């Protein structure tokens, strides 16, 4: 068994498919299949259950995955320690909640790229919980999420502040009538949904349907057409409000303030790409102050 075997095994375990793992690793599919078979023969135990729906780990496979994750994490830390440089390079995987990606990140990422052009930036969007899980599993180097985050394995730096607004079609004005309409949110896990439910419960109100949508643009278009209302950060609705597509309404204190944190896994050593990014985020907060 070698490091390459463990990486292939880890990829198949995470993707649940030989085909998908081969794509992620940029390997030939037959090579991935043969390496998994050789690993099972070497250990004399099946590591996966095969079915038409994909591959799932056996108990032996689950046990091996724990050690594979630890070994590959230690190897990654060793590489980061030896490769630290004032001029970072290589892949740097970021995640962000959709609203922050749409309104806050472009200037930050542009400045980072200008300073460190040899870093290969990538960005995925999602909701806070799923992004945190990706950071904890080393699938992302860091992510912008709604804070506060209570996780002992996570480090953070405050990145941006915003205000949560109730958003409706332009001609609607009474907040309490609005809150009985269908509410448009991102997928399950959306941080604003919990705050909306808390507000409704504490004020003895009952909302209509909750509708889930994948993008900010679709939510804004739905609100503008009278499909329902939403709770969104002020920065993300500024253009739509200026164009008179929607109207915004301030929430009572205790529901307004939004904190956006940049979070990353607590480690003994950090890559130079991550260190420089955290420094840049800190510079932005200092400029705001």
DSSP 48-91: EEEETTEEEE-HHHHHHHHHHHHHHHHHHHHHHHHH--SS--EE
* Higher-confidence position of 49 and 210: 49
Q: What pLDDT is attached to residue 284?
A: 72
> Which of 82, 121, 99 lies closest to 277, judged by CA?
121
The dihedral over CA atoms of 76, 84, 89, 131, expressed in degrees to the nearest 10, equals 50
pLDDT of residue 256: 84
| Cα gap 72→76, rounded to integer Å | 6
- The mean pLDDT of the chain is 86
Whether 195 shows a pLDDT value over 80: the answer reads: no
Given a cut of 60, whether residue 47 has pLDDT beyond it is: yes
Least confident segment among 81-85, 174-178, 208-212: 81-85
Crossing angle (nearest 10°) for helices 3-15 and 18-25: 130
CA 256 centroid distance within chain:
22
Q: What is the pLDDT of residues 73-120, one digit of tens each?
A: 888 767 765 565 678 888 899 999 888 888 889 999 999 999 999 888
* 3-class SS of residue 216: helix
CA gap 93, 74 in Å, rounded: 18
Sign of CA dihedral 131, 137, 142, 146: positive
Name the pLDDT band for 263 (thresholds 50, 70, 90).
very high
Which residue, chain included where needed, has tokens 């930036």? 121
130 against 201, higher pLDDT = 130
Residue 188 is given by DSSP the state T
Return d(Cα 15, Cα 160) in angstroms, integer. 33
Q: Residue 268: what pLDDT? A: 66
Q: What pTM did the predictor assign?
A: 0.64
Mean per-residue pLDDT, 161-168: 89
The residue ranking higher by pLDDT, 204 or 117, is: 117
The answer to whether 25 and 6 are in contact (CB under 8 A) is no
pLDDT at site 233: 86
**Burial state string for 161-197 with b = 16 or more CB within 10 A and e = fewer than 16:** ebebbbbbbeebeebeebbebebbbbeeebbbbebbe
Model pLDDT, residue 201: 77
Tell me, what's the pLDDT at 74? Answer: 81
> Mind listing the domains of the chain with CATH numbers?
3-83 (1.10.10.10), 92-289 (3.40.190.290)
> Is residue 30 packed enough to be buried (19+ CB in 10 Å), middle (13-18) or exposed (0-12)?
exposed
Q: How confident is the model at residue 170 (pLDDT cuts 50, 70, 90)?
A: confident
Compare 186 and 11 and report the one with higher pLDDT.
11
Q: Please compute the mean of the pLDDT values over residues 216-232 and round it to a whole number.
A: 89
Q: What's residue 63's pLDDT?
A: 94
CA-to-CA distance for 89 and 201, rounded, in angstroms? Answer: 50
Does 194 have pLDDT greater than 90? no
pLDDT of residue 81: 59
- Please determine, for residue 13, whether its predicted confidence score (pLDDT) is greater than 70: yes
């Amino acid at each position: 068994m070698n490091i390459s075997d463990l990486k292939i095994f880890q990829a198949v375990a995470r993707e649940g498919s030989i085909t998908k793992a081969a794509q992620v690793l940029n390997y030939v599919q037959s090579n991935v299949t043969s390496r998994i078979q050789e690993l099972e023969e070497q250990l004399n135990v099946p590591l996966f259950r095969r079915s038409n729906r994909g591959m799932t780990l056996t108990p032996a496979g689950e046990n091996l995955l724990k050690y594979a994750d630890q070994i590959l994490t230690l190897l990654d830390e060793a590489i980061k320690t030896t490769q630290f440089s004032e001029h970072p390079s290589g892949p740097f995987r970021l995640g962000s909640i959709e609203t922050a990606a749409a309104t806050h990140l472009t200037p930050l990422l542009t400045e980072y790229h200008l300073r460190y052009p040899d870093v290969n930036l990538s960005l995925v969007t999602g909701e806070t919980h799923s992004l945190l899980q990706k950071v904890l599993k080393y699938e992302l180097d860091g992510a912008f999420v709604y804070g506060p985050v209570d996780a002992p394995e996570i480090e953070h730096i405050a990145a941006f502040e915003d205000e949560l607004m109730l958003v409706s079609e332009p001609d609607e004005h009474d907040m309490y009538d609005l809150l009985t309409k269908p509410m448009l949110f991102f997928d399950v896990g959306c941080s604003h949904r919990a705050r909306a439910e808390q507000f409704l419960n504490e004020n003895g109100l009952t909302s209509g349907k909750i509708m889930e949508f994948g993008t900010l643009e679709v939510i804004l278009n739905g609100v503008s057409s009278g499909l329902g209302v939403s709770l969104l950060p002020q920065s993300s609705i500024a253009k739509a409000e200026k164009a008179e597509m929607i109207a915004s309404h301030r929430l009572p204190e205790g529901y307004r303030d939004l904190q956006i944190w940049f979070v990353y896994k607590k480690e003994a050593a950090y890559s130079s790409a991550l260190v420089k990014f955290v420094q840049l985020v800190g510079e932005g907060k200092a400029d705001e102050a």
